[in-house]
A = this chain, B = another copy of it.
Amino acid sequence: MNEFVLNEDRFFDSDLSIRKFARELYNEIKDYPIISPHGHVDPNIFVENKPFPNPTELFISPDHYVFRMLYSQGVPLEELDIPQIGGKRLGKDPKKVWQLFAENYYLFAGTPSGVWLDYEFNKVFGIKEKLNGNNAQKVFDMINEQLQTEEFLPRNLFKKFNIEILTTTDAATDQLINHQQIKQSGWDGRVIPCFRPDGLTNLLNPNWKNELTELGKLTSLDVNNYKNFISALEMRREYFKSMGATSTDHGVISPFTYKLTEGEVNAIFSRALNGKATERDAELFTANMLMEMARMSCDDGLTMQIHAGSNRNHNNVIYEKYGLDKGCDIPQRTDYTENLKELLNAYGNNLNFTVIVFTLDETTYSRELAPLAGHYPAMKLGPAWWFHDSIEGMTRYRQMVTETAGFYNTVGFNDDTRAFVSIPARHDVARRVDANFLGGLVARHIINVDEAKNIIKDLTYNLVKKAYKL
């Protein structure tokens, strides 16, 4: 077998007249520090700073991008010992799980997971072979050995990856103890929270009442009335800000925005308190809470993020046994033009407000999102998200967004990952795709190379800091 090396020109157009510019542009920014303004890394790994247990626990068990694909090809989640609800594990031998993964590694050909894993194995762990069933155990051992070393402790990887800022995502009722501990530890890695109140703004959350109780405790307010509920959320936002947060995040099935009257919202809130909220109540309440959150952002300056369009837990069999985030969230059609109208009319002309919108429905890039972001000063477009965080996906994003919104109504890259070790891989792909897209514009004489150099720097670093007020 040939030695497996990542080609220095990977992902660039094969036509050399584009590739040469892509390479030149990529070289301008490849060593820039990483700003990760949105993601799901567990901050506790930096508190404990303990070795990752083993390759299986690092690459497979926590990564629904990975086990989703194996599951789709008939590998039961039980065989992979994916954590079940309540954390239950079957105690499979990690080496056997790894073997199964390696034998099926060919399934990832042409997927972003394949691209990221190749990078992680090769660049982070120095593996010079493509993973397969034959070398599975050798590769397991090689990675495992390194994981036990000082160099591969989370804080050292943070520095090695050249991360300037890492943002986590945290419930409104999270006390941010990990973030406090990181601060108090004296370690200088900048890990900041992001305020995500979905558990409280979605009345259909089975845990809503508990979260509400917790909110009351944390704020010492009687949150059994809507007005206090709002005040309590404002207090939590203040607390998050004091802990370094610069943004909020809102995951919604639809980006519908609608301000309820005082009477309406009180009625819905009280039905919710009595466990009698309907689906329509929940829709309206979420729409109303997006309005409240936008208003609060105008006041406290936190950048607002809206992630819309994921039909969560589509597969009930998996959900009931394994719970959330197990690869069975399926996108659905999403409309922004009418849904965001009320929010944008109320706050979209406000120069102190930034709302970053994400989609899983690519049809809205050119039809709705680019025209909206190309008009409203408050609105910016989030990068290609989730299933679209990929070479083709990010390329289509630039192709469909740029002509209407330009580059400057976008906000750089989000890795949005819980897989800490994949962060440099993901940012590298994004930088290469942007370099290649700009290289194509230069090669076709749409912009010149000096313009492209300014733009790639802004896309990599400046726009993200500006949009997230970092």
Contact = CB atoms under 8 A, between A and B. Distances in A.
A402 interface: yes
B407 A110 contact: yes
A345 B316 contact: yes
A372 B12 contact: no
A330 B368 contact: yes
A14 interface: yes
A447 B110 contact: yes
Nearest to A392: B399
- Give the number of times this chain occurs in the complex, counting copies: 3
Contacts of A376: 72, 315
Interface stretch (A85-93, A149-157, A212-220, A438-446): A438-446
Nearest to A395: B399
A106 interface: yes
A424 interface: no
A391 interface: yes
A250 B375 CA distance: 25
Contacts of A318: 349
A377 interface: yes
A318 B10 CA distance: 46
A370 B111 CA distance: 12
Interface stretch (A183-191, A201-209, A356-364): A356-364
B451 A109 contact: yes
A382 interface: no
Contacts of A328: 375
6 contacts: A9-B445, A11-B444, A108-B406, A314-B337, A363-B367, A391-B403
Given A110-B406, A396-B399, 8 more contacts: A74-B377, A109-B407, A109-B455, A314-B372, A318-B349, A330-B368, A362-B363, A387-B403
